[in-house]
Amino acid sequence: MKIKTVVVLGSGTMGNGITQVIAQAGYEVYMRDVSQELLDRGMAVIKKSLSKFVEKGKITADAEKEILGRITPTTEFDEVVKKADLIIEAVPENIELKTKIFSELEEKCPPETLFASNTSSLPITALAAVTKRPERFLGTHFMSPVPMMGGVELVRGRMTSDETLEEIKQFIISLGKTPTVAVDYAGFVTSRLLDLYLNEAAYAVMDGNDPKEVDAGMVHCTNMPMGPCALTDMVGADVLLFVLEILEKEFGEKFRPAPLLRQMVRAGHLGRKTGRGYYIYK
């Protein structure tokens, strides 16, 4: 393994989760964000997550301290990214923001640094095109919550080399995760299939079905670990709508978002993060 030091750009839900699992695997990791407030919030989430692992006996208190000691939260950019063998960008799903970041990284990083974007839908080939190293660029679609989910979808851009893909595969395996490989089309494999399912659940609720019954049917009759309405509330109706609009543009009518989903987003009923979605949360 050539990868020793990793920089994660972003300390939000995905960024802090990715940072945690990388540090747990023994790597030195810098978690970079634009303000100390955001970093403090991200570190608080990591500490809470690790403390739960200690309580459940999955790690020791000493291991918790060691893991935290491998994480460096920072607002510094130029000097930090120069140290990275691998940079994982985990900022919000905005292609203009992501391309701007990778353009800046191209100027600051040594040519051997690997670039990865954590995205559930945006085209990896387009992001890689703003750099001079598209062969050393790929997508790493971590699943939420990152510390609990066992898989990572690797998205191979048009120019991603075999060597890069294999190196990142081995890195993901070293995190205790299972890598799967997807072709670089909108939604890749996981979002493309899952979001179609979640959207159809919204249509089922529109037809008059109770969300609880929709969820119960899928959990008890098809062995799904969680119902689609509850899962939408966890993911966020706004996130689901955003990806569905990308999928509809790419693949057509079959991905047209359910009107109910649009109505929920307009009302601010996004799920757990706002206290209300299909269900009400206290």
Distance separating alpha carbons of residues 68 and 237, to the nearest angstrom = 33
Distance separating alpha carbons of residues 100 and 113, to the nearest angstrom = 17
| Residue found under tokens 């047209």 | 256
What is the model's pLDDT at position 144? 84
| Residue found under tokens 């923001």 | 97
Strands 86-89 and 114-117: parallel
179: left (phi over 0), alpha (psi -120 to 50) or beta: beta
Collapsing DSSP to helix, strand or coil, 276 comes out as strand
Percent of the chain scoring above 70 in pLDDT = 100
Phi then psi dihedrals of residue 156, to 5 deg: -90, 115
Distance separating alpha carbons of residues 152 and 17, to the nearest angstrom = 13
Mean pLDDT computed over every residue of the chain: 95
Q: Which whole number is the average pLDDT over 1-14?
A: 91
What is the model's pLDDT at position 1? 55
What is the model's pLDDT at position 61? 96
Instruction: Say if CB 167 and CB 138 are below 8 A apart.
Output: no
pLDDT digits (tens, 9 = 90+) for 179-227: 999 999 988 999 999 999 999 999 999 999 999 999 999 999 999 999 9
pLDDT digits (tens, 9 = 90+) for 126-143: 999 999 999 999 999 999
